[in-house]
Amino acid sequence: MSSSTIKSGGVRKRPTGVGAPSGWYMAPALGIFALFALVPLVVALWLSFTTWDAISSPVFVGGANWATVLADRGTWHALGLTLEVVALSWLVQTPISLLLGVFVAGTQKYRALLAAIYFLPLILSSAAIGLAFKAILDPNFGLGASVGVSWLKQNWLGSPSLILPVVVFIIAWQFVPLHTLLYQGGVRQIPASLYEAAQIDGASRVQQFFSITLPQLRYTLITSSTLMITGSLTYFDVVFVLTGGVPSSAINILPIDMYVTGFSAAQFGTASVLAIILAVIGLAISLVLTKFSGFNRMSSQQEGA
């Protein structure tokens, strides 16, 4: 990460020694975070070189787990699926969130009520959402079966070809609200004068959207995408609940694969290899995106400049 400069409103005098709070103010947060988020990664790395069944103590086996995991077709399948879920989620959620965000940012009275409803899924837990959709989609006792619409009575959660779109949809249902919020905030930051100028030029709504709204939202887009992509790497809860904890190979995404390898098959060493892979992908993606997003710039963003 590049070192960065502070600009805040005006020119800041370098704080004198008396004034600047010491680094100790940061120590507790840094300590807890390091101990429970960073140290575990180191422990995972160590465990990945051991064989451990959670009953006996870990035994060092060198790179055997790594060899096993990297040679296993299942790993690559899980990796491919994970990236598929990431890509599909992004493709589905971004346009919906963007358009909804623009729509909700308007000022008609009823939109406030709409917004309140739109954001409801934000507060439901993944476990609740998973259970509810499981009940709805049950082909024998769910909604489709009782309404008698045969198209609805599909093997939503069992068929290898259907489960992926279903999971992507449910995840979108859960997370579109958050990203709608981000875009709504972004739209509200766009100076109205830009639109007025465009109207004088006779630009249509659609033209205005593409020539003003979209370019103005570029930072929001990057922020939202970062959150979406790093988040979608780890859609564990929903998938776990939906598939009853015994996931089929059709939705065996990396975190699920890791959980099953560890907690069902008791091969915690092998599972730790998968954990490290997951962490590396997450960090890599976010570093790349940070490069673009300027998330690390310590200055306050000035939009529309």
Partner 1 sequence: MTTVAIVGALSGCSAGGSSAGGSTATLWALTGDQTGVVEPAVTAWNKANPKEQINAQYFANDAYKTKIRTSVGAGSAPTIIYSWAGGTLDSYVKAGKVADLTSETASIKSKYNSSVFDLGVVDGKTYAVPMDPSYPVLLYFNKSVLAKAGVSAPTTWDELLAAIPKLKSAGVLPFALAGGSKWPELMWEEYLVDRVAGPDAIKAIAAGKKNAWSDPGIIKANTMLQQLVSAGAFGSDYNSVVADSNADAALLYTGKAAMLLQGAWAYSTFQTSAADFTKSSLGYSNFPSVSGGKGDPANIVGNVSGYFSVSANASAAQKKTAIAYLTQGTFNDAYTKRLLDGGQVPPIKGVSSQISGGSDSFVGKTASLIDSAPNFQMSWDQALPSAEATALLTNLDQLFTKSITPTQFSDAMNKTIGQ
Partner 2 sequence: MSTLSDARTTPATRPEPAKSRRIKGHKTRNFIGAFGGYVWLAVIILPIYYIVITSLRPQDGFYSSNQLVPPSAPTLSQYALVLQSDFFLYLANSAIVTVVSVAVTVAVSLGAAYAVVRSQTRFTKLGFSIFLVGLAVPLQATIIPLFYMMSKVGLYDSLMALILPSIGFAIPLTVLVLSNFLRDLPNELFESMRVDGASNWRILISLVTPLSRPALITVIIYDALTVWNGFLFPLVLTQSPDKRTLPLSLWTFQGQFSVNVPATLAAVVLSTLPIFALYLVGRRQLVAGITAGFGK
* Contact positions with partner 2 (CB under 8 A) in 249-278: 255, 258-259, 262-263, 268, 271-272, 275-276, 278
* Region binding partner 2 by CB under 8 A among candidate stretches 60-68, 70-78, 153-161, 183-191: 183-191
For partner 1, give the closer residue by CB, 63 or 106.
Answer: 63
Residue type, position 187, single letter: V
Q: Alpha-carbon distance 10 to 21, whole Å?
A: 20
Q: How many residues bind partner 2 (CB under 8 A)?
A: 134
One of 204, 207, 249, 299 touching partner 1 (CB under 8 A): 249
- Residue 152 binds which entry of partner 2, partner 1, none, with Cβ cut-offs from 5 to 8 Å by kind? none
For partner 1, give the closer residue by CB, 64 or 178.
Answer: 64
* Region binding partner 1 by CB under 8 A among candidate stretches 36-44, 106-114, 214-222, 265-273: 265-273
One of 90, 138, 286, 290 touching partner 1 (CB under 8 A): 138
Tell whether residue 19 is a contact of partner 2 (CB under 8 A).
Answer: yes
Task: Answer yes or no: are the C-beta atoms of 250 and 205 closer than 8 Å.
Answer: no
One of 124, 162, 203, 250 touching partner 2 (CB under 8 A): 124
* Region binding partner 2 by CB under 8 A among candidate stretches 61-69, 70-78, 86-94, 170-178: 170-178
One of 4, 125, 248, 296 touching partner 1 (CB under 8 A): 248
- Cβ 63 to partner 2, closest distance in Å? 18
Tell whether residue 265 is a contact of partner 1 (CB under 8 A).
Answer: yes
* Region binding partner 2 by CB under 8 A among candidate stretches 67-75, 85-93, 159-167, 192-200: 192-200
Most distant pair of Cα atoms in the chain: their distance: 75
- Residue 237 binds which entry of partner 2, partner 1, none, with Cβ cut-offs from 5 to 8 Å by kind? partner 2
Task: Answer yes or no: are the C-beta atoms of 209 and 227 closer than 8 Å.
Answer: no
Of 41-80, binders to partner 1 (CB under 8 A) are 53-56, 74
- Residue 146 binds which entry of partner 1, partner 2, none, with Cβ cut-offs from 5 to 8 Å by kind? partner 2
